[in-house]
Amino acid sequence: MISVIDRRSEQGIAMVTAILVMFVVSILAVGMMYTSFHNTTSSARNRSWGQALHVAESGVNQAIAYLQNTEGIVPVGTISGVTADGTYEYRVLPLGRNRYQIDSVGTVGAAGTLQSSRRLRVTMAPPRSFQYGMFSLSDVTTKNNNMICGDVWANANVHVFANDAVRSAESSECADGSAGDGSVTAATGYVELDQNSIIEGGVWSGGKNANGAAITLDNGAEIGGLAKGSSSTPGCGDDPGHSSYKIDNKGAIIGTATTWGTIIGGGPTGGSFALTCTAAAATKQMPIFSYNANNYPAETVHEYTFPADYASFNNYIAANKSNLSGVFYITGGDASTPVDLGGVLVGGDLVVVAMNAPIDATQGIGVVPGNTSDKIVVLASFYAADASNCSTTGGNPGDCAIGIKNNFAPIGGSVTDGGNTAVLLYAPNGPVAFKNSADFLGAVYANNIQVKNNMNIVYDPRVSQIVGFGVTTLEVDLWLECSPAAVTTSSC
């Protein structure tokens, strides 16, 4: 009797054990199935998240292609498209001055937990072509109470006359928003600082003057950064005896001084490294320009051919010189038919491109009184002239590619408070000369630059990106991923 009961107990225990095992196995199976489902869902969601970015990028690329193929014509409204992975929507907003904002949303997966959307914002703009306050394919020469806020580049020589200054954007004498550390580079030539002149940044020369000096500082002159005298010949092989590339310092060098030659005069604050070979900077080319009327609002474009249209052009300027704006593209002409802008007052964005004639502003250029709108002025002359014929004494208009004399002040404020008008002067084939009271924000790019008597120029980053300059019309200026939202959402 006892054995029967024992067997029944053993059978009951075995049954309970089996049930418990089956229960545990079921729980484990359910857990494994849940984990597998969760992993599959997470992987699918992750794939959708990654694919959504690529789909949004497809929308951006389609928008860029549209802008390029239509030369800046903006598509109307929201544009939709489909890829193998999902759908996209994009919208293009013009920001002015050939800048465009592209918003694109890419969506992957069916509606629900597996669907992912990502939003991109891309800004297209003209390439950054202008970074120096002054850029010369040959020399830069200043004379008599001039100030340049920004960097200076010359493929040849730089001569800063007495009491002139090249200052950094941090200087109290420069406008807010300006850029540059006040450095000077003479890629293949020398740098000379006359009495009491100052260069707040560094100085880098790649050649020497007739006395064998790479860098010369007269009494009271100062270099606020490093001074480096380099050779344009590999290994400084043009001067094996160290007889040239001297730094002649009668002033003060705040940073280090390094040169292949000797260092004469006062010791630099940061230390001296004479008889040390360094390679000179490579010369730079002028940003190229290509005119295309489609780059500008059609209603602003005026095209003339000189001499046939010379009288009509002058009549238009005379009738509108008290409030001039627009785009003026001039072909033909020569020294006898200069583009005369003397006495013009700027009332809005102004672009003047003279392919064969010089630009003359003998009576200066100003801004319409009381006009506080943001403006950019571009004066571009492709006129070719020998720098030796163009002088700061105010010669004939045909002696310079761009000649500025007396009260050139298209600012709309002052150079110290940051005016509302920025100016680019561009002359790749001839010199630009200033005389008597030139005050402006912007940059000068020319074959040769000569300055005399009370010029103040503050480099303004607004001129760094101007349509028509550079190897492309538009390039990506900013690329951001924004929080998921509709393509029409203004915030990012």
Whole-number pLDDT of residue 438: 85
Which region holds residue 90: left if phi is over 0, alpha if psi is between -120 and 50, else beta?
A: beta
Read off the pLDDT of residues 307-365 as tens digits, 9 standing for 90 and up: 999 999 999 999 999 999 999 999 999 999 999 999 999 999 999 999 999 999 888 89
Read off the pLDDT of residues 220-268 as tens digits, 9 standing for 90 and up: 999 999 999 999 999 999 999 999 999 999 999 999 999 999 999 988 8
How far is residue 275's CA from residue 230's CA, in Å, rounded to a whole number?
11
pTM to 2 decimals?
0.85
Q: Tell me if 295 sits within 8 A of 71, measured CB to CB.
A: yes
Residue 488 has pLDDT above 80, yes or no: yes
Whole-number pLDDT of residue 416: 57
H or E element in which residue 11 lies: helix 2-69
Q: Tell me if 283 sits within 8 A of 253, measured CB to CB.
A: no
Which of the four pLDDT bands, split at 50, 70 and 90, describes residue 37?
very low
Read off the pLDDT of residues 406-461 as tens digits, 9 standing for 90 and up: 888 887 665 555 678 999 999 999 999 988 888 889 999 999 999 888 888 999 99
Distance of CA 123 to CAs 8, 102, 256, 480, 481, Å? 83, 6, 41, 9, 12
Residue with the bigger pLDDT between 227 and 143: it is 227
The 3-state DSSP class for residue 260 equals: coil
